[in-house]
Amino acid sequence: MYLAATPMKLLFVGDIFGRPGRDAVHRFLGPLRRELNVDMVIANGENATHGTGMSDSAYRELAASGIDVFTGGNHSLSRPDTLALLEAHKDVLCPGNASSMLERHGWTVLSVRETSVAVLNAMGQYCLTAGNNPFEYVERMLDIPEIRACKIRCIDFHAEATAEKAAMLHLLDGRVSAILGTHTHVPTADARISDRGTAFVTDVGMTGVVDSIIGLDPSRMVQRYRTGIAAPPKVADGTATLMAALVEIDETTGQALHISMLQRST
Q: How far apart are CA 122 and CA 26, in angstroms?
A: 27
H or E, element range at 218: helix 218-227
- CB of 152 or CB of 204, closer to Fe ion: 204
Q: In whole angstroms, how close is the CB of 159 to Fe ion at the nearest point?
A: 9
Provide the pairing of β-strand 206-207 with 242-249: unpaired
Secondary structure class of 219 (helix, strand, coil): helix
Q: Which among 39, 13, 52 is positioned nearest to 241, based on CA atoms?
A: 13
Nearest residue (CB) to Fe ion, 17 versus 28? 17
Bridge partners, residue 263, by sequence: 243
Cβ nearer to Fe ion, comparing 15 with 156: 15
- Whole-number Å distance between alpha carbons of 187 and 72: 17
**Nearest approach, Cβ of 150 to Fe ion (angstroms)?**
26
What is the closest distance, in whole angstroms, from the C-beta atom of residue 14 to Fe ion in the complex?
8
Work out the end-to-end distance of the chain between its first and last CA atoms, rounded to an integer number of angstroms. Answer: 37
Per-position b or e across 196-214, b if 16+ CB within 10 A of its CB: ebbbbbbbbbbbbbbebbb
Judge whether 46 and 17 are in contact, CB under 8 Å.
no
Radius of gyration of the chain (CA): 17
Name which of 149 and 163 has its Cβ closer to Fe ion: 163
∠ Cα 186 189 195 (to 5°): 130
Identity of the residue, 39 or 164, whose beta carbon is nearer to Fe ion in the bound complex:
164
Residues that bind Fe ion (CB under 5 A): 15, 46-47, 73-74, 183
CB of 126 vs Fe ion, minimal distance in Å: 12
Shortest spacing between CB 1 and Fe ion, in angstroms: 39
Catalytic residues: 75
Between 8 and 92, name the residue whose CB sits nearer to Fe ion.
92
CB of 39 vs Fe ion, minimal distance in Å: 25
Residues 6+ apart with CB under 8 A from 117: 8, 40, 109, 110, 111, 150, 152, 153, 154
DSSP character for 173? T
